[in-house]
Structure 1
Amino acid sequence: MFSAAPGRLIPGPYRSLFADRTFRRLMPVFALSDLGDGMTVVAVAWLAFALGPDGGQGALAGIAVAAYVLPGALGALVLGRWMRRLPARRLLVADSALRAVLLGAIPLAHLAGLLTPAVYVGLLGASSLLHAWGKAGKHALFAPLLSDDQRLAANSVLGTSLWGATIAGPALAGLLMGVVSPAWILGLDAATFAVLALQTSRTTVPRSPAPPHTGGARRGLSILRRQPELLGLLLVTWVFNLAFGPVEVALPSFVSADLGADAGLLGVYWAAFGIGAVIGALALGAARRFPLWPAMLGIIAGHGIGMLPFALADTALPSLIGFAFAGLVYGPYSALSFTLIQDRTPADSLTTVLAARSAVLLTASPLGAALGGFLLDRAGAPAVLAGCGMLMILIVPTSIIVLKLYKVINDGFSPRTSRPDNHVIP
């Protein structure tokens, strides 16, 4: 319920959440860091286009986008033996400090004339090595402080901050790149991580319970293999993310080469996508009325349809509307997929399953971006972007056929069991 009293127009869980001194100290720096990362959506690829050799700008942009994300998956798997024993605050500080130093080196190398493509990709890759652990620490930081009711509110606030950064970050980067090099945009992102590391290190929070020494990503993958629906969801989402990966590389080229515009319009595209996603996420209640599997496959198909107007490269308006529609359709996808995971996973295994899922999915979009970069130099941005949409649309009938075949095989070799039909394709 809402109170009519002045200053009490915020729902109870949010009001008590912001009454917590630790949350009030850290949430602003979380939002600042999210904004910095939102700016890199534009800056990473745009700087790669500036550094790349003639005829190879697309390939370098794809490699740069992949390098900014992919090592995080490697770090999640290889460093788990050591990192999982650290408290959430130290994980967040370590990741933020590493990113502050290495991303901050990019504008310095640019200023000194030392920023070659190899140096650029190397700094991006090294900066992301601990990022999966940093994100885990960020979401686990408040667990000892908050009640169950408040944790839900805290996750909602953190999610809103990310979506807000998706809207404001690219638009701000587009404006700034009219006057400064994208290298300095990455320097600003580094500064936000430095502030986050400093403020987090100065904030005292209760130590989180020590995680068990058994389990981890391998145990999570083992559970997924025993749950066909969850494994199918993981595979479908991986291919979906792979299909979206080339967009981060091809969209800057589409704006600059095909439309002859500057980074400001690129920021407008990402802001339109973010606004659509916020509206779509708020409409989650309507999506919940449908069975989850058909709803998620419908989202993928709708997202693909939104990408098709990029084939019309004469003007920005059709593709801008289509990209906003793609964001609108995509909005509920993550929440719906998490609902299915929570429904099918034992409570004591949920954390390990989610960790394994993150490690796998972190590989998809970077690989797609790298592939898109190589295709961009050969086919052009409109073909790559519209091709992404076609691939997303093709995911749907392929998934239906595979799932139905599995159902036929499973019914033929296993005793029939009673299962609710609201999570399977009829």
Structure 2
Amino acid sequence: MLPVLLPAGYRSALAHRRFRRLLPALALCDLGDGMSVVAVAWLAVALSPPGGGGPLVAAALVAYVLPGAVGGLLLGRLLRPLPPQRLIRADALLRAALLGCVPLGQLLGVLRPPLLLALLAGSSLLHAWGGGARYALVAGLLPGPDRLAGNALLSTGAWVATVAGPALAGLLAGPLGPAWIIGLDALTFAVLARAAGRTEPAGRTEPAGATDGGADRGGLRVLLARPELLGLTALSWMFNLCWGPAEVALPLYVAERSPTGAGLLGGYWAVFGLGAVAGSLATGALRRLPRWPVLLGIVAGHGLALLAFAPAGPVAVSLAGFAVAGAAYGPYNALASHLFQERTPAAWLTTVLALRGAVLLTAAPAGSALGGALAGPLGARRILVGAGLAMAAVAAAAALVRALRRSGTGRPSGVAGGPAPAREPLSTIE
């Protein structure tokens, strides 16, 4: 019944068998990640001395993503020849094995901060390639008119999981504990690895000779030759940098208000996800709008919504603001990924997406480290508000750069410079 209720563009994307078969496993894996959003932070708080959780929360969040940037930059020669399905499977197998060791370590009584950080770091090593492979898979399996719909379905599945995952983690935190919730996340990655292994390969996605040492430089040249993509990468990097401190501050903000607040933390992420689901499903309605004003509006709107944490009022005010932040952010990944799919040669798409992912994976950890350092002197509330103001400032600065370049060239341009291609609709989702 649900596919019948979806717009025609989404139904067309779901008509492709290989894409439709893998989508539920990706959604289940996203559900596990949604639980881990709460579990990783709450486990770090539990392993920290009273009142000193900020540094370990920041370190855990950094460890969970930063090694993915290293893997994205250094493992290209080994991973580039693999089709997207195998990259997804390799990432899932590694995550299943190492995240599964977290509850095992607790069961054996050896789970300490260094071991937790090592397991989180190892599990993220292939994250840039696994994440980029998802959108390369969409480009390989779906024709051009269906790709934005496919992107939106991936994003919507992730945001639905952001609603259900944290809420489920909040319910399970008491009876199970955060370490066993991470173990459930590991199980979802095992399911994804099996599903990806049963999906027939889409074929080689890189040109002949892409496994030599010059391929890394080739992927970078593809990105540098497209100023619009380079500008989008810079905007996304700054966006993620500003978001990093908020991820650290939110569990600390909840812990200040409720010492047993895993459920409340899950509630914040659940309302964020609800807003993001609504925003992601509205992606098709944005298809006829000029893309750069939409992207900059998303960044600014997301940041301004965080100002709901400024008043020292009821929790409902900040919960509502976090939901609005999610709604603003919902379409961002689908729109940004579609722009890369349009502007990147198919043979280099996986490489460029992995390179983009590796670059972006350095941003949030840097922001998380900054948030951990500022947690003591500023406090969680000020960090959340400051992160929102910084996002609004990034959007304003990018809009100013774009306006200056347009006035200098007399033509629209990407944020990074250079004339942009002629404006066209983002999709045919109806």
TM-score, normalised via structure 2 length: 0.84
Alignment of 1:223-372 (within 5 A): 223-259=222-258, 262-341=261-340, 345=344, 350-372=349-371
SS in 1 for 2:100: helix
Tell me the distance in 2 between the aligned counterparts of 1:156 and 1:354: 17
Q: Which residue is equivalent to 1:38?
A: 34
Of 163-172 and 259-268, deviating more is 259-268
Q: Which residue is equivalent to 1:414?
A: none
Structure with the greater alpha carbon radius of gyration: 1
Tell me the distance in 2 between the aligned counterparts of 1:419 and 1:143: 22
Q: Which residue is equivalent to 2:88?
A: 92
CA change 1:255–1:89 in 2 (3 A) is same
Alignment of 1:6-405 (within 5 A): 25-140=21-136, 154-201=150-197, 203=198, 205-206=200-201, 208-209=203-204, 211-212=206-207, 213-214=209-210, 216-259=215-258, 262-341=261-340, 345=344, 350-405=349-404
Tell me the distance in 2 between the aligned counterparts of 1:152 and 1:399: 24
Q: What per-residue deviation string (whole Å, max 9, x for no partner) do you get for residues 138-185 of structure 1?
A: 455577766666766654433332121111111111111122210111
CA change 1:292–1:12 in 2 (3 A) is closer
Of 244-253 and 345-354, deviating more is 345-354
Q: What per-residue deviation string (whole Å, max 9, x for no partner) do you get for residues 86-110 of structure 1?
A: 2334323322221111111111111
SS in 2 for 1:114: coil
Unaligned runs of 5+ in 1: 412-416
Tell me the distance in 2 between the aligned counterparts of 1:375 and 1:297: 27
SS in 2 for 1:326: helix
CA change 1:31–1:251 in 2 (3 A) is same
Q: Which amino acid aligns with 1:208?
A: G
Unaligned runs of 5+ in 2: 411-417, 425-430
Of 153-162 and 60-69, deviating more is 153-162
Q: What per-residue deviation string (whole Å, max 9, x for no partner) do you get for residues 266-291 of structure 1?
A: 11111111111122223335544543
Q: What per-residue deviation string (whole Å, max 9, x for no partner) do you get for residues 333-354 of structure 1?
A: 2333345545655666555443
CA change 1:9–1:399 in 2 (3 A) is closer
Q: Which amino acid aligns with 1:205?
A: E
CA change 1:304–1:16 in 2 (3 A) is closer
Shift of 1:305: 1.2
Q: Which amino acid aligns with 2:330?
A: G
Partners of 1:312 and 1:382 within 8 A in 2: no
Tell me the distance in 1 between the aligned counterparts of 2:33 and 2:380: 24
Q: Which amino acid aligns with 2:243?
A: F
Tell me the distance in 1 between the aligned counterparts of 2:3 and 2:161: 26
Q: Which amino acid aligns with 2:299?
A: I
Tell me the distance in 1 between the aligned counterparts of 2:134 and 2:228: 29
- Matched residues, number: 413
TM-score, normalised via structure 1 length: 0.85
Tell me the distance in 1 between the aligned counterparts of 2:275 and 2:216: 33
Q: What per-residue deviation string (whole Å, max 9, x for no partner) do you get for residues 355-390 of structure 1?
A: 332221121112212221221132111011011011
CA change 1:293–1:403 in 2 (3 A) is same
Partners of 1:57 and 1:377 within 8 A in 2: no
Of 269-278 and 311-320, deviating more is 311-320
Tell me the distance in 2 between the aligned counterparts of 1:352 and 1:36: 26
Give the share of equivalent positions with the same residue, in percent.
Answer: 54
Tell me the distance in 1 between the aligned counterparts of 2:105 and 2:385: 36
CA change 1:216–1:381 in 2 (3 A) is farther
Partners of 2:85 and 2:201 within 8 A in 1: no
Tell me the distance in 1 between the aligned counterparts of 2:13 and 2:320: 37
Q: Which amino acid aligns with 1:237?
A: S
Tell me the distance in 1 between the aligned counterparts of 2:121 and 2:255: 26
Partners of 2:82 and 2:204 within 8 A in 1: no
CA change 1:17–1:296 in 2 (3 A) is closer
The RMSD of aligned alpha carbons is 3.3
Of 208-217 and 177-186, deviating more is 208-217
